[in-house]
Structure 1
Amino acid sequence: MTLAGGTWSEVRCAAFDAGSALRATAETVPLTSAAFRTLAAPLRSPGLVPGFDAAAMDGWAVSAAGPWIFGEPIVAGPVIDSRPLAPGVARPITTGAAVPLGAERVLRSESGRIADGRLVDDGPPAAPRHIRVAGEETTPGDLLFEAGVVLTPPRVAVAAVCGLDTVTVATPPRVGIAVLGDEIVSEGVPAPGTVRDVFTVQLPDVLRRLGAVADSAVRVADDLDATVAALDRPDLALVITTGGTAHSSTDHVRAALARLGAELVVDRVAMRPGQPTMIARRGSTLHLCLPGNPMAAMVALVVVGVPLIDGLLGRTVAVPSTVDLAADVSHPRGGVLVQAYRQTLAGALPQLRQSSAMLRGLADADGILLVPEGGARAGDSVPSLDLPW
């Protein structure tokens, strides 16, 4: 069933569901290649962390009360000194070294004093033990991260400290980009009647940030057969088009989808800019058909494309935030008004120089906000979405 003219939140759900139905396959990669990949399966710890009782500070391993005589030093390394700590002895120990059997605590270097050849405790009466107990961070089988979690560099580090060498991640969806329009030129200052291609220079990088891979990026003339050929990519998980979604004599996306037998999932979104956005499915390929105006297309990519790709990768859909407006925003038309904004001390301030055809306001924005029909006043809270770049 086609969702026609749905609200922005309804369309986000439909996009996510469409992506989830065609979830990517999985592959195993080394940790050195895992940063910013999406887990395809829950990640569990194979061992204890730490794997032994370890000194949390430089100092001395001691037991009972002092003063103590000095024993042999203990240093961090692969060879563990298994001898128990003798009564009345303080053994110098380095951070990370294995604490000997019988040690009750590590007296930190700053808290010890040498008097008459013995170690005296000058620390506070209720000082911490300064011992990292084996397994206090993880034990074997502990769930580290759920499937669908993006492996940030700190998460990759957690996997490493637990003893993992590889992880199972979602295979990046391969995406084709087709920029439609006879008026599009690829270099120089556009002559009257033409405009620069602003999509092939930015979409591949945005897709990479989202976890996908741009397989190709082509410009397509305003011709039905050429549009059909550009959309006919059953080898790809997703085809993104810009332009051609309206109803003029040069807009051929609808006819091309119909000729290919694609099922229309979303037909228009109740938002401005970005209203003539569509999602279609043909076999195992999704089509995200964006408007041709630059801001309208990028807004639609944020609102609709991000949850679609999240679904393909098996992630959870991001929950919108809210921001408090720093100024009144008028919106007498239907649907939501999407505005790029900067966060100021007074609240979210809509950018200047923004319309469906302008990118300058979006380029310096902190996010986009969605103003309901009828507008909103300064101080009102409105939904907002982060930008994926």
Structure 2
Amino acid sequence: MTLVLPSWSDARHEAHRQGVRLAADTAADPGAGSVRLDLASALGRTLAGDLAARGDVPGHDGAAMDGWAVAGPGPWVLGAPIVAGAVPSGAPLTTGHARPITTGAPVPPGTAAVVRSEDATVDDDGRLVRHTPSTRRHVRPAGEEVTRDQVLFTGGTVLTPPRAALAAASGVDDVRVAPVPTARVAVLGDEVVGAGVPRPGQVRDVFSHTLPAVLGTFGADPVAADRVPDDADTTARVLDAARERLVVSTGGTAGSSTDHVRGALARIGAELLVDRVDVRPGRPMLLARRGATVFLCLPGNPMAAMVGLVLLGGPLVAGLLGRPLEPMGRVRLAVDVPNDRPGALVLAYRATPEGAVPASHQTSAMLRGLADADGLLVVPAGGGVAGEDVPPVRLPWC
């Protein structure tokens, strides 16, 4: 019987679903609840619920230009100026009168329009005379941009600087944000060394300093990165001791005598949720859960691990934060890309005016092609031809 593995897309959706599920299951924990932060401190965080405006934007009918507030047809008799920050006047502007006004200042009742500074002049009799015809009113009505109690952003939205600025303009001072999921990285392998040029049979640790950074771009809080030897008991002990929301491991997911992750997950009572994925590189990746911790176990080859982290780690953290799954777009191939093996092929690509071109020097063990890539593209079994659109996967560091 042939084992049918989940597609990369199905695995991606499952990772997001499991993140959402874990967040919901642990929401009752005292330390897992949302927190309220001022807007500056909340930048980059995820809203824990819908954010509503506390006031109208603008809060008054205001001048959209520097010029004169006028009532009725001209010429107009000039009155006292109105500047931004002034208390709105209750006295109406009567027909045949005008008042100098600055951008953003409240227009008085009865204002028909604001005549721009460049469209009128004051004659020898001290009256304002329009010399450029215009049908535009140049008045921003109260609530034109935002109305009080209107939902500005739904829960799961990342608070970017422009969103924080709009919230501030709407009278918001602080927001409730989702808790940041903690993450731990475990780099497995006796052959992994932390410094210098590896001797034959060894490889440099390329994950301890990079995977935490990638997890941080996803929105997680990487608290530690540990190197773990190829030992069944040690692997099980490290995974068992983890109390973070997310544990990302590299290596030990295949089927050799030194691959202990699958057995370690079984020993600690973790439920296997995704058991390999029909994609290259990254096929032997695993997703499991025990209690309040989810384990994303990636292959040890550098490109395979990076692909797995981007494909499943990003959606998983998004689910933990209550963010929606990032929609997939399309990228056009500039060249034919063969794929004569079963399952999807993930390739790093460079963007050109003609479309996407796969980078050179890329296998599951290589990083050179990924180092200067603009993104990943997913080629289905059977390959793709020049001019065809295929799904891209955004690289979080680009």
Q: Is TM > 0.5 for Structure 1 vs Structure 2?
A: yes
Q: CA deviation at 1:234?
A: 4.9
| Map 1:239-258 → 2, pairs under 5 A | 239-258=247-266
How much does 1:235 deviate? Answer: 2.2
Corresponding position of 1:178? 186
Q: Residue 121 of structure 1: which of 115, 130, 136 is its match?
A: 130
Q: In structure 2, what residue type is equivalent to 1:120? A: V
Which one of the candidate residues 84, 91, 104 is aligned to 1:96? 104
Aligned length: 386
Tell me if structure 2 keeps the 8 A contact 1:173–1:212: yes
Match of 2:17 in 1: 17
Match of 2:75 in 1: 67
Deviates more, 1:53-62 or 1:71-80: 71-80
Please give the secondary structure, in 2, of the residue aligned with 1:99.
coil
Give the letter aligned to residue 91 of structure 1.
R
The residue type paired with residue 9 of structure 1 is S
Give the 3-state SS of the residue equivalent to 2:307 in structure 1.
helix
Q: In 1, Cα distance between the equivalents of 2:173 and 2:158?
A: 17
Task: Provide, for residues 269-318 of structure 1, a one-character-per-residue CA deviation record: whole Å limited to 9, x for no partner.
Answer: 00000001000000111000011111100101111111111111111111
Matching of residue 383 in structure 1 with residue 365 in structure 2: no
SS of the residue 1:85 aligns to = coil
Q: C-alpha distance in 1, partners of 2:366/2:390?
A: 23
Instruction: Determine the C-alpha separation between the residues in 2 that align with 1:213 and 1:188.
Output: 28
Percent of residue pairs bearing the same amino acid type: 57
Q: Which residue of 1 aligns with 2:30?
A: none
Matching residue's letter, 1:22 = L
Deviation at 1:211, TM superposition (A): 0.8
Q: Deviations over 1:94-118 (max 9, x none)?
A: 1111111221111110111122221
8 A contact 2:88–2:107 mirrored in 1? no
1:144 aligned to 2:152? yes
Give me the whole-angstrom Cα distance separating, in 2, the residues matched to 1:273 and 1:183.
21
Alignment of 1:318-333 (within 5 A): 318-333=326-341
Contact 1:233 1:239 in 2 (8 A): no
Paired position in structure 2 for 1:196:
204
Q: Which residue of 1 aligns with 2:215?
A: 207
After the TM superposition, which residues 295-374 of structure 1 pair with which residues of structure 2 at under 5 Å, given as runs? 295-374=303-382
Q: Whole-Å Cα distance in 2 between the matches of residues 236 and 78 of structure 1?
A: 53
Shift of 1:157: 0.9
- Look up the equivalent residue of 1:331 and give its one-letter code: N
Match of 1:29 among 28, 37, 53: 37
Looking at structure 2, the residues matched to 241 and 163 of structure 1 have their Cα atoms a distance apart, in angstroms, of 44
1:125 is displaced (CA, Å) by 3.6
1:83 — aligned with what? 91
- Bigger mean CA offset, 267-276 vs 193-202: 193-202
User: What is the distance in 1 between the residues matched to 2:297 and 2:22?
Assistant: 18
Q: Is 1:227 paired with 2:235?
A: yes
Give the distance between the partners of 1:145 and 1:344, measured in 2 at CA: 35
In 1, Cα distance between equivalents of 2:292 and 2:379: 35
Distance 1:118 1:129, change over 3 A: same
Give a deviation string over 1:205-247, Cα, whole Å, max 9, x none.
Answer: 2111111110111111111122112212452111000111011
Q: Tell me, yes or no, if the aligned pair for 1:4 and 1:266 is still in contact at 8 Å.
A: no
Once the two structures are TM-superposed, the CA of residue 78 in structure 1 deviates from its matched residue by: 5.3
- Structure 2's unaligned 5+ residue stretches are 28-32
- Looking at structure 2, the residues matched to 67 and 146 of structure 1 have their Cα atoms a distance apart, in angstroms, of 50
Q: Distance between the aligned counterparts of 2:57 and 2:288, measured in 1?
A: 48
Alignment partners' CA distance in 1, 2:195 and 2:275: 33
Please point out which of 281, 284, 287 is paired with 1:276.
284
Separation in structure 2 between the aligned mates of residue 26 and residue 352 of structure 1, nearest angstrom: 45
**TM-score computed with the length of structure 2 as normaliser:** 0.94
Alignment-mate amino acid for residue 14 of structure 1: E
Q: Distance in 2 between matches of 1:4 and 1:222?
A: 29
Q: Where in structure 1 do 4 or more consecutive aligned residues deviate above 4 Å?
A: none
Q: Taking structure 1 as the reference length, what is the TM-score of the superposition?
A: 0.96
User: What amino acid sits opposite 1:43 in the alignment?
Assistant: L
Cα deviations across residues 118-157 of structure 1 (Å, max 9, x unaligned)? 111122242x111110111111211111111111111111
Task: Verify the 8 A CA contact 2:86 2:106 in the aligned structure 1.
Answer: no
Instruction: Indicate the SS of the match to 1:269.
Output: coil
Structure 1 runs not aligned, ≥5 long: none
Q: Whose relative contact order is higher, 1 or 2, with alpha carbons under 8 Å and at least 6 apart?
A: 1
